[in-house]
Chains A and B, each alone.
Chain A
């Protein structure tokens, strides 16, 4: 099990926590908690070691597109970068949308 943590400055607050994705091969769970610090912290737990560079790129791309102050936890089960990006975007959508019951 490997744990990776990245943090980036961020300013936009989010409405609500989110939990998307599933525990299953090639997928991941993304949990988003609103934060009142001016940063977004991403903590990744993965059973597949040695992909720090790929994770860093995926997360950097995500924060360049979404300026949200949040604590994001990722439980990875071998997702591809494409799947990770979709789940992160989905989580942000849930967090920003105050009419969603998820």
Chain B
């Protein structure tokens, strides 16, 4: 089973989580934690998928693992793009709809993540009017002009939009960090932790720690 960071996995019940740590009380009370976890940025070994459960507040996050045999559905952020019209009474709808329109001119795969992505994936209300607008975009390699165009396009929106750029086998970085700091140093989050990097010849190079 292939899962990526930010994918949302569905499981049948909390007993199926790997018994590696004590489950906090709030997990049993939060509807959002009962059947869904968000894949975390960590290596997958022994078919154990690292996931995070979310509760009702930003402090309520529980990192755990689930065996892939217990995963009944994988929902990718990209698959949510087709579902956004069902959420047309939400504050984020006009923004996502506009992004969907604008992004048609780019050759990229994208999707909503964070609380908005979770809400669209699960139909469980977790957003507030103040929720961040988080997106992931998926590129095969660093294409500097594309990333600059995407950045310019999103600058025109009335709300700040947080974009993570996911690069296969490497990790992800914030588009904003990349655009401001690609020559001096921006942070790439990898399965083995964050690293300060810079772009050289369109490739990501790790700077000495």
Interface membership of A9, Cβ < 8 A: no
Are the CB atoms of A83 and B184 closer together than 8 Å? no
Assuming A22-B180, A86-B194, is B59 touching A50 (CB within 8 A)? yes
Q: Count of chain A residues with Cβ under 8 Å from any Cβ of B?
A: 21
B100-126 CB mask vs A (1 if < 8 Å, else 0) is 000000000000001000000000000
Assuming A83-B189, A90-B185, is B177 touching A22 (CB within 8 A)? yes
A89 to B164, CA, bound (A): 23
Are the CB atoms of A90 and B196 closer together than 8 Å? yes
**Interface size grouping (class) on chain B:** 20 to 34
In chain A, positions 1-39 with a C-beta closer than 8 Å to chain B are 21-27
Are the CB atoms of A22 and B196 closer together than 8 Å? no
Are the CB atoms of A23 and B180 closer together than 8 Å? no
Are the CB atoms of A26 and B189 closer together than 8 Å? yes
B47-79 CB mask vs A (1 if < 8 Å, else 0) is 000000000001100000000000000000000
Binding site for A on B (CB under 8 A): 58-59, 114, 132, 134, 160, 162, 164, 174, 176-177, 180-181, 184-185, 187, 189, 193-196, 209
| 15 sample A-B contacts, Cβ–Cβ < 8 Å, listed by A number | A21-B177, A22-B180, A22-B181, A23-B160, A24-B174, A25-B114, A25-B174, A26-B164, A27-B177, A49-B58, A80-B194, A83-B189, A86-B187, A86-B194, A90-B185
